[in-house]
Structure 1
Amino acid sequence: MTRTKKYAAAAAVAAVLVGIPTGAYATHATAPSAPAPTAATSTTPTTPNSTAAEGPAAERPSTQRPTVVRPGERVDAGGGWTLWLTRDGKHWAGPDGYENFRSVTDGNIDLGRPGVSHQSEGDATGVFHSGVYYGTKKAARVELVAADGTRTRAALVELPGKPGWGAWYVSTPPATDPGGIGVALYDRTGRLLAELPARPF
């Protein structure tokens, strides 16, 4: 199986895990977006195979409570993907069983202000996206944002006790837009907290 693994970090640090190239990136929002209309709270996360939603974020409900999971509790992310959290960060494994890890304690992210990271792996059948959001207790929505404006909402998971970070995940069809895809993090009012620009993956 041909797979790509990409991670991004504000310092654009490249790493190698078990001989497979990886990369990570993260950034912070520079300006808030217009608030979205208030919507009823949902405790059910969006499935990782959710369909893309069109139109600007402010036109859609923004409230989504992260699902609270125990440390080490496996989350079925669909398509053979599994995700779990520990106090040290986000872990995930693909259909082949190969495990990956994104630390929240290695100093590569600033837990003192809102940010979001993005990792993706996939092949001709589809792409699994996941990442860490952090530096806020008000996270309510993470969306993938394609260069053509198409948006796909992700599912959110957190550990108990409001640790100040959590993880998101969603699956998409194989990429066809050469402009790539970005990530946006919003609070419960629909205010943009952090974003990553669209990049090929």
Structure 2
Amino acid sequence: MTRTKKYAAAAAVAAVLVGVPTGAYATHATHATENAPAAHPAPQLPRQAPQPHTHQAQQAQQTRPTTPSVRIIQPGERIDARDGWTLWLTREGKHWAGPDGYENFRSVVDGNIDLSRPGVSHQSQGDATGVFHSGVYYGTKKAARVELVAADGTRARAALVELPGKPGWGAWYVSTPPATDPGGLGVALYDRTGKLIAELPAFPV
């Protein structure tokens, strides 16, 4: 009986000794978990505004309206060409008047102009204060620019007017200081791409 109690007591002590390390490890593991650094959420990258599609941006730029180089006017509508000069168009041709009120006319239907091929004409009037230049361009529906060209290369860009419906002709006009170059002035007509399509050589003044 005594020997049995000793074995029981020894077994109880062994159980206690075996259980102590187990509890100690568990406590240590729990402590390590509590002291572990907290996990931080991943940083959020700033959101970028969506960029427009390159092709769409190019199309938007290409479709922007541009300032027309030719002004469309109604038959008989009078244009103030400055310095007392007035210009207007009819179906028959170009009309203009100076400060004195005297009216002039250049026909496009009298047979003197060949409307089947590009060309340009030039008329001028003036005095010691300045010169008014005008003319008719014709034979093309692509006219975009007319320049008055001096013998020394100096250029003056003219204003262009046409009647509605692209009749195949129009008028140009520009004012310059009094002529001082004996080489005279020529006229150059260009299309929308900048290509020279007609010219009138300079003539001595």
User: TM-score, with normalisation over the residues of structure 1?
Assistant: 0.69
**Rounded Cα–Cα distance in structure 1 between residues aligned with 2:131 and 2:152:** 18
Q: Which residue of 1 aligns with 2:66?
A: 41
Question: Is 1:172 the counterpart of 2:176 in the alignment?
Answer: yes
Aligned length: 141
Q: Which residue of 2 aligns with 1:198?
A: 202
Structure having the higher Rg: 2
Q: In the TM superposition, what is the alpha-carbon distance from 1:95 to its structure 2 partner?
A: 0.2
Q: Which residue of 2 aligns with 1:87?
A: 91
Q: Which residue of 1 aligns with 2:147?
A: 143
Q: In the TM superposition, what is the alpha-carbon distance from 1:198 to its structure 2 partner?
A: 1.0
User: Comparing both chains, which one has the higher relative contact order based on Cα–Cα distances under 8 Å and sequence gaps of 6 or more?
Assistant: 1
Question: Among the aligned pairs, what percent are the same residue?
Answer: 84
* Mapping for residues 1-201 of structure 1, pairs under 5 Å: 41-43=66-68, 64=69, 66-201=70-205
Q: In the TM superposition, what is the alpha-carbon distance from 1:199 to its structure 2 partner?
A: 1.2
Q: Deviations over 1:119-175 (max 9, x none)?
A: 000010000000000000000000000000000000000000000000000000000
User: TM-score, with normalisation over the residues of structure 2?
Assistant: 0.67
Q: In the TM superposition, what is the alpha-carbon distance from 1:200 to its structure 2 partner?
A: 2.5
Q: In the TM superposition, what is the alpha-carbon distance from 1:191 to its structure 2 partner?
A: 0.7
Task: Specify every segment of 5 or more residues in structure 1 that has no aligned partner in the other structure, as ranges.
Answer: 1-39, 44-63
Task: Specify every segment of 5 or more residues in structure 2 that has no aligned partner in the other structure, as ranges.
Answer: 1-64
The CA RMSD measured in Å over matched residues stands at 1.0
Q: In the TM superposition, what is the alpha-carbon distance from 1:110 to its structure 2 partner?
A: 0.4
Q: For residue 78 of structure 1, give the secondary structure of its aligned residue in structure 2.
A: coil
**Rounded Cα–Cα distance in structure 1 between residues aligned with 2:172 and 2:133:** 8
Q: Which amino acid aligns with 2:131?
A: V
Structure with bigger strand share is: 1
Could you list the structure 1 runs, at least 4 aligned residues long, displaced by more than 3 angstroms after superposition. none
